[in-house]
Amino acid sequence: MESTYDERAKFEDTLIDGNDLTEFLEHDYKFDQIQKAMKELDDTDKDIVYRKFIEEKSYEEISFLL
């Protein structure tokens, strides 16, 4: 069975560009490193990191909450 040009074009559209793949893998590696580091923190330090980078609180707000 021969594929049509349209089918090949659709397949090619699903492929990741080499640069995009490199960026994705670097991001994935960094995420793994962050996860490993977070697991090593105690609960208070995890709370500080969460409030600073997820909730975007200032250090002053964080110190007030602790």
- Is-contact 62 44, C-beta < 8 A? no
Domain membership flag for residue 11: no
* CA dist., res. 35 & res. 39, Å (int): 6
Mean pLDDT (the chain) is 82
More confident residue, 12 or 20: 20
Q: What is the pLDDT of residues 33-58, one digit of tens each?
A: 888 999 999 999 999 999 999 999 99
Domain membership flag for residue 50: yes
Q: Look at residue 66 and tell me whether its pLDDT is greater than 60.
A: yes
Q: CA 50, 60, 54 angle in degrees (round to 5)?
A: 20
Domain membership flag for residue 6: no
Q: Look at residue 4 and tell me whether its pLDDT is greater than 90.
A: no
Query: What is the model's pTM?
Result: 0.54
Query: Tokens 């977070």 correspond to what residue?
Result: 38
Number of domains in the chain: 1
- Is-contact 41 53, C-beta < 8 A? no
